[in-house]
Structure 1
Amino acid sequence: MTRLRLVVIVGTTGVGKSQLAVALAEKYNGEVINGDTLQIYDGLPIATNKLPIAERKSIPHHLLGCIRLEEETWAVGKYVRSATAVIEDVIARGKLPIVVGGTHYYTQSLLFEDSLIQNGPTEGLTAEAQEKRWPILGASPKEMLERLRLVDPEIAARWHPNDMRKIRHSLEVYFTSGKKPSDVYREQQRARSKYLPGHDIVSENTGRGIKDAGQSASPLRFNPLILWIHADLDKLSSRLDERVDQMVDAGLIDEVQSMFGHLQAQKRSGKSVDQSRGVWTAIGFKELLPYVSACAGAEITVRKLEESKKQAIELTKTSTRQYAKRQQRWIRGKLLRALQENDALENLMILDGTELSQRLQNVQEIAGDAVHAFLKGDPLPKSTLLPTLIKDILVPKAKGHIKARYCDMCKITMMTQQEWDAHLRSKKHRKASRIPVDWQALYPRADHEDNLPNHDDR
C-alpha cells in the first residue's frame, strides 16, 4: 500500500521552522502538527516558543498546548500514536500534513516504525504507578545509575551520571522487558540491518526526486519530504542571544513567576510536582526559577536581585546555544543515519537558514518549490547550500567510543575517549594533579622569640 505523504520540517531552535510551516500550509492547503515535546503542554508559551495565535494565520495547529499542567506527561509512544492519528485524519480530509518541531527524537520516532521498543516501556502507567511498582524509578540519578550498573554495566557506562532521562528509561526497559537494555538495542540494530542498501551517503541526493514508496521495504511509516533548515551554529549564536532578550521583553519572567505560583499552590495543597518531566524542563523556566524564588524572599538586596536576574538570563542564553548544538548533532548523527540506512536520503532537502533575516523569503520560496515537486513526483530542486558544505554536513563526523570516565581530582565526567584525552591535557587537570608542596615543611619557621634580634649582643 502506498505510504501517506507528509512534509516534515527540522532544524535547530531559532531558524524559522514554525514560520515556514505556516507559509507552506497557506500555499498547499496544509495543517500543522506539533513535533516539539514541550509545546504539547499548556503553560510557558514564551519559554517554549509557541507560535503566537496571530502568526498562525488561521492555519489549524494540532497537538499544541493540549495537555494541562495537572495531567500526566506523555511518553514518546503516546505522541507517536496521537500524531499518526492526526496525520491520517488530515490526509483523509484532503489536506497536507506538515510536522514541525525541535524534538527530533519525537520526529524520528514518528517517521520510523522501529525507532521505539515495541509498545514502549511502562506504556499506560503514570509516573506514580511506575514508582510504586519500581521504587528505584523515584530515586536520585545517582541511585538509579548504581542500580543500572548492577543489571547492565554496558549500557550504564554510556550515560552521563546526570542524564536522568536516559538512566531511568534504561531501567524502565529492563523492568518491562526482563532483558538488558543493551541486548534490546542490539536486537533493534539487527532488525534494522535488513534494510541497509549500501547507499553512499554523499551521493548527489539533492537533485533527485522522492523514490516511489513501493520500491523498497523500509520501516518508514510515511513517504516524507524532510526540509532541514540548516544554520551555521557560530553565526546562529548571536541570533539566539537576541531572541532570549526578546523573550524577556515579551514577559518571560512574568510567565515563570506565574508557574512558580502554581508550584507553591500545589505544595500548599500537599501535592508534589515532578519538575524533571514535561513543561517544567523548558529552557528559561529552570534557569530563571532561582531568581523568581529569590524575588519572593523577604531578605535580599536590590543589587543581589539584579545580579541574580542577569546571571539567570545569561544562563538561559547558554542553555539555548547548547540545545541548538544538541539538536544539530541529533540530525547529523541519528536522523541522517536513519535515512541513509533506509535508502531515503532522496527524501531530504537542505535549506540555508543561517542568515534568517535576509533569507527567510528565499527559504520559503525554495521550500515551496520542493513541496510542489514532491506532490507531483518530480525531481526536487537543488539545495541552497554549496555542494562541499552539503558533503561536510552529510558525512558523519568521527565519533569516539562512548564510555563514562570520572576524574576524581577534578570531579567531572567525560563521555568519550577524545573528551578524556583533552581533559588530561587541560590546565585544570594539570593543576589539580600537581603534588601539593608543603612549604612549611620545606622552610620551617623558628619560634618567634628565637628570631628576634638581640640588640644587647651587638
Structure 2
Amino acid sequence: MSPAPPRPPLVAVVGATGTGKSQLAVALAQRYNGEILNGDALQMYDGLPITTNKLPLEEMKGIPHHLLGCVKLGEEPWTVKQFLKRATSIIEEIRSRGRLPIVVGGTHYYTQSLLFRDALVEEGESDDLTADAQREAWKLPDANAEEMLKQLQKVDPEMAMRWHPSDQRKIRRSLEIWLKTGKKASELYKQQRIQSKDPESDGWNRSARPNGSEDSARAHLRYDSLIFWIHAPSDVLNLRLEERVDSMVSHGLLEEVASMQSFLQDQEQQGDSIDQSRGIWVAIGFKEFLPYILDGSHREELRQKGIERTKIATRQYAKRQVRWIRLRLQRAVHAANLAHNMFLLDATDFSLWSDGVDAKAQDITAAFISGFALPKPDSLSDTAMKLLASPEEEAKSATYCEACDKTLMFHSQWINHLKSKGHRASKRPKIDWKTLYPKNNGY
C-alpha cells in the first residue's frame, strides 16, 4: 500500500512528572530533525533550573529548545493567550526550517489549548476587570472552600452542585470565571455544548454531520498531531518522585528557594508587591521550604518537614496531571477523531526504556511523518488497552447524605452508598437496650 501524501506534522509528548517526557522528546528530535517547544508553564521562567526541574544543558544533546527561561522572575505571569501566540509563531518558524516541532511539558492545559481549537473558557475571558471584580478576585486565594462554595451557590448554583464541598481548586475556578467574565461558568459550558452539537457550527459532535463528519471533527485540530502519553503506575512513580526530590535538595533546591525569597524581599523594599498565588511562586518546593528559610531555629526539623511536604505535593501534582489527561485531554482527542494518533507508552521499568518506550515511539513517528498506517494504539500493551478506552465521565451532581454526613458526586456513587452497610446501619433505628432490658435489681 502506498503512503498517504506527506503532511506537516507535530508531535506532542505528555505524561506525569518523572515519567521521562523530556528524554523521549530529545531522542525523537535527534532522530527526526526536530526542535523542542516547552509546554511547561513554570519552566518558562528565567533561572531556577532545580525548582522547575529543567532539563540540564548536557541532556539537551544540542537540540534547540524554545520557550525555556523566557519570562523574567519579576514579570507578570503568562496567560494561555500569550503562550498560544508565541508557541504558534515558533512552530511556524520550526517548520520553515524544514524541521519537526515537538511539544513537551507537564502543563497539559497549555498543550491541549495548543493542539485543539476548542474555545476554552479562558480564551474568552476579559483582561479588563472592574475594580470590584479585582477586589473580589484577590480575596479568593485566602478564602477556604466553604466560603467560596457559599459565594458560588449565590452566583451560579448550578455549577456549585457539580463540585464536592472540599474541591477548593474547582470551586475557585468557577468563581474566577464569574468574576472575570461576568458570566456563569455553567452558562458558558452550556453554550459550548450547544455549539458542539450545532450542525451549522464548526462543532465536535461527529454524529451531527453524517456527511463530512471527519472534516468537521478534524477542523478543531490546530495541527496534524501525534501524541505520546508516557505512563507509569502511581506506586512505581511515587518512589521515583521521592528519589528525585532528594536529588533536587542535594543539588541546591534550598539555595534556589532562598534566592527567590531574597528577590521577594528586595521587591517589597522597593514598594513592588508580587502576587505569590500565580506563576513561579506556586512551584513545588518554594512554599514547602519557606519555614526552613525564614526560621533560624529547629533547622533540621524544618528541613525534614519541607522535604516531606515537597514529596507529598509532587505526588499530588503527578496525580492531577494523569487525571487531566484522562478526563480532559482524552475527551478532546476522541471528540476530534484523533484517538488513532494517541499512543500510551509504558515507562514502568526504566531498564526496559529502549525497547518499551524509545523504539516504539521511533517506529510510530517514522510511520506518522511518512503517511503510513499507524498501529492500533490499544495494541501496544495491556495498560494502553485499559487507559486509552473512551473516557466517559458521569454528569456530576453533589448529593448530601445527612445520616452519614457525606457528600457523593456521582449518581452511581450515591446508589452504591445507599446500598452500603455503613449507610444502612446509620439509618437503622437505634435500640435502647437499657430501656428494653432494664436491670432486674438483683432478681
Q: After superposition, where does 1:227-238 map in structure 2 within 5 Å?
A: 227-238=228-239
- Residue number in structure 1 paired with 2:134: 134
Distance in 2 (CA, whole Å) between partners of 1:308 and 1:425 is 43
Is residue 2:265 matched to residue 1:264? yes
- Residue number in structure 2 paired with 1:196: 205
Matched-pair contact (CA < 8 Å) for 1:351–1:384? no
Cα offset for 1:218? 2.9
- CA gap 1:164/1:88 in 2 versus in 1, 3 angstroms: farther
Query: Larger deviation: 176-185 or 231-240?
Result: 176-185
Matched-pair contact (CA < 8 Å) for 1:351–1:383? no
In structure 2, give the amino acid aligned to 1:14.
G
Q: After superposition, where does 1:436-451 map in structure 2 within 5 Å?
A: none
In structure 2, give the amino acid aligned to 1:113.
R
Deviations 1:184-224 (A, max 9, x none): 1111122233433369xxxxxxxxxxxxx968543111110
> Of 385, 390, 395, which aligns to 1:391?
385
Q: Percent identity among equivalent residues?
A: 48
Distance in 2 (CA, whole Å) between partners of 1:260 and 1:412 is 41
- Residue number in structure 1 paired with 2:200: none
Distance in 2 (CA, whole Å) between partners of 1:382 and 1:22 is 24
Structure 1 unpaired stretches of 5+: 200-212, 436-458
Distance in 2 (CA, whole Å) between partners of 1:162 and 1:40 is 31
- CA gap 1:42/1:266 in 2 versus in 1, 3 angstroms: same
Distance in 2 (CA, whole Å) between partners of 1:167 and 1:345 is 30
> Of 92, 101, 104, which aligns to 2:108?
104
* Aligned-partner SS, 1:228: strand
Is residue 2:299 matched to residue 1:326? no
Matched-pair contact (CA < 8 Å) for 2:367–2:374? yes
Cα offset for 1:243? 1.0
Matched-pair contact (CA < 8 Å) for 1:404–1:415? yes
- CA gap 1:131/1:406 in 2 versus in 1, 3 angstroms: farther
- CA gap 1:29/1:283 in 2 versus in 1, 3 angstroms: same
Is residue 2:64 matched to residue 1:60? yes
Matched-pair contact (CA < 8 Å) for 1:291–1:308? yes
Q: After superposition, where does 1:37-436 map in structure 2 within 5 Å?
A: 37-117=41-121, 119-123=123-127, 134-140=134-140, 141-142=143-144, 145-159=149-163, 166-167=170-171, 169-175=173-179, 177-193=181-197, 194-197=203-206, 217-294=218-295, 297=296, 300=297, 304-360=298-354, 362-381=356-375, 387-395=381-389, 399=393, 401-403=395-397
Cα offset for 1:369? 1.3
Distance in 2 (CA, whole Å) between partners of 1:398 and 1:216 is 18
* Aligned-partner SS, 1:15: coil
TM-score, normalising length: structure 2: 0.80
Distance in 1 (CA, whole Å) between partners of 2:83 and 2:152 is 27
Aligned residues: 405
Matched-pair contact (CA < 8 Å) for 2:400–2:407? yes
Deviations 1:48-103 (A, max 9, x none): 11111221122111111111111111111221222111111111221110000011
Deviations 1:375-433 (A, max 9, x none): 100122465965543232123567565456799999998766788888x9999xx99xx
* Aligned-partner SS, 2:120: coil
Matched-pair contact (CA < 8 Å) for 2:345–2:380? no
- CA gap 1:226/1:273 in 2 versus in 1, 3 angstroms: same
Cα offset for 1:155? 1.8
Kindly name which structure, 1 or 2, has the bigger radius of gyration based on alpha carbons. 1
Deviations 1:289-340 (A, max 9, x none): 222222xx3xx2xxx3212211211111111111111111111111111111
* Aligned-partner SS, 1:339: helix
